[in-house]
């Protein structure tokens, strides 16, 4: 208790570094006195911030080194620092202002074609480090506290079709094939997939638990396994990481992914587009937004309803069942198209053979097209996958 009544009014008594500071609140109302007392404590706390503690002339490189050793550092901070640290390393932290961020954006755009969202990630880390400097009493205020991030523009991304997925799977390396199936059937991020362990799978319940995620909502979320993913993972159930290469942890798949895309001949995709395709297929299958967000580990707005609502496992199972039914419907449609295409090609070859009296086209003895339609290629790639498995 730091409030005492003397002479009909309350006084605030605060001890700081062994010294008692007394100040009259000039009121006999307890609520007003309590507000005054809180302000009194804050004033004394600010006064204890000695000028010798402030060091606005410190180079940002030195500040970031202290942040790495003493701060709460995430892998994301380290990855982004490789980009912005060469620009800001020799700059005094007091000079990192809003105008300097504008110049940094122009420099990044000059070096490489980037989206504003990518540069926003750099500014977020810079602002986080400067807030840490304020808490450590190196800065009196964060110069980027009121800096607004550039508004992200929506970019149209291609949605991978089932035929393109099958084509990609038929040409991918074995370790990449397993990763692609996991991404397409769970919607997990690449980092989540590569860190998954067999201990995180309940084969009896056919549920995978995501234990490491980019978002807090993504951790410990349950994802029911599709039939093909269950069959793929249940063949071997050792301990340790699920997705490995030569019994070693996979840290990057960029080379294998680019090679598979090039050899498959499909449109260019990012690995992240598999997550987009998963969400798009759930929409096509009629899965509601809240269930999709739960499966994908998306952050939700923290309103009162979100605090008390939870998507139960039966709803998640139903969503995955809808996804499997939708995918099977797509495959059956393409198989029918492939069969119809085969019949038409056979009929045309027979007719052409009769007209030419057994002669064949130059360079194509069958008289059919050298490159089959997507449906025919789908049938060929599906047969290749089944043969390989």
**Model pLDDT for residues 105-127, shown as the tens digit of each residue:** 999 999 988 888 889 999 999 99
% of the chain surpassing 70 pLDDT: 81
* pLDDT, mean of residues 15-30: 84
For the segment 57-68, what is each residue's pLDDT rounded down to a tens digit?
899 999 999 999
Is this model's pTM higher than 0.75 or not? Answer: no
pLDDT band at 341 (very low <50, low <70, confident <90, very high): low
- The matching CATH number, chosen from 3.40.50.970, 2.60.40.2550, 1.10.1060.10, 1.10.443.10, for 162-328 is 1.10.443.10
167-209 pLDDT, tens digit per residue, is 999 999 999 999 999 999 999 999 999 999 999 999 999 999 9
pLDDT over 70 at 344, yes or no: no
Residue 227 has pLDDT above 60, yes or no: yes
End-to-end CA distance of the chain: 74
Query: What stretches of 123-227 adopt beta strand conformation (E)?
Result: 201-202, 207-210, 221-224
Domain boundaries, the chain: 3-48, 60-135, 162-328
Helix (H) or strand (E) holding 165: helix 162-171
pLDDT 10s digits, 68-102:
988 788 888 988 999 999 999 999 998 999 999 99
Encode pLDDT of 278-293 as tens digits.
999 999 999 998 899 8
Residue 336: predicted pLDDT: 86
Q: Are 145 and 134 in contact (CB under 8 A)?
A: no
Strand partners, 24: 11
For the cut 90, the answer to whether the pLDDT of residue 267 exceeds it is yes
Q: How far apart are CA 171 and CA 168, in angstroms?
A: 6
User: What pLDDT was estimated at residue 99?
Assistant: 92
pLDDT at 275 over 80: yes
Edge-to-edge strand order for the sheet containing 19-24?
A: 3-6, 9-16, 19-24
Strand order of the sheet with strand 207-210?
A: 201-202, 207-210, 221-224
Q: For 207-222, write each residue's pLDDT tens digit.
A: 999 988 877 666 788 9
């Amino acid at each position: 208790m730091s409030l005492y009544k003397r002479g009909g009014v309350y006084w605030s008594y605060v001890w700081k570094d062994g010294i008692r500071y007394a100040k009259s609140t000039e009121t006999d109302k307890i609520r007003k006195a309590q507000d005054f007392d809180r302000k009194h404590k804050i004033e004394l706390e600010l006064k204890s911030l000695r000028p010798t503690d402030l060091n606005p002339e410190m180079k940002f490189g030195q500040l970031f080194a202290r942040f790495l050793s003493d701060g709460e550092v995430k892998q994301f901070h380290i990855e982004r620092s490789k980009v912005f640290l060469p620009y800001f390393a020799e700059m005094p932290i007091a000079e990192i202002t809003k105008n300097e961020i504008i110049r940094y954006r122009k420099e990044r755009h000059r070096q490489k074609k980037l989206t504003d969202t990518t540069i926003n990630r750099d500014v977020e880390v810079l602002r986080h480090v400067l807030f840490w400097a304020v808490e450590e009493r190196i800065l009196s205020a964060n110069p980027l506290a009121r800096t607004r991030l550039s508004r992200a523009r929506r970019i149209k991304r291609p949605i991978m079709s089932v035929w393109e997925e099958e084509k990609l799977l038929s040409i991918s390396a074995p370790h990449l094939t397993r990763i692609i199936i996991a991404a397409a059937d769970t919607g997990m991020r690449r980092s989540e997939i590569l860190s998954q362990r067999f201990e995180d799978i309940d084969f009896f319940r056919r549920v995978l638990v995501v234990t490491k995620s980019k978002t807090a909502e993504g951790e410990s979320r349950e994802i029911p396994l599709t039939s093909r993913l269950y069959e793929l993972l249940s063949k071997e159930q050792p301990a340790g990481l699920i997705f490995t290469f030569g019994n070693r942890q996979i840290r990057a798949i960029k080379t294998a992914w680019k090679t598979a895309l090039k050899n498959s001949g499909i449109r260019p995709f990012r690995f992240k587009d598999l997550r987009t395709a998963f969400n798009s297929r759930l929409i096509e299958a009629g899965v509601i937004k809240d269930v999709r967000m739960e499966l994908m580990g998306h952050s939700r707005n923290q309103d009162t309803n979100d605090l008390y609502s939870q998507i139960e496992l039966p709803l998640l199972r139903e969503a995955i069942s809808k996804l499997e039914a939708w995918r099977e419907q797509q495959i059956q449609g393409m198989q029918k198209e492939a069969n119809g295409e085969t019949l038409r090609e056979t009929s045309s070859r027979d007719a052409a053979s009769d007209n030419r009296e057994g002669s064949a086209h130059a360079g194509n003895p069958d008289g059919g097209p050298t490159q089959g339609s997507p449906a025919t290629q789908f049938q060929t790639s599906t047969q290749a996958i089944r043969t390989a498995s």
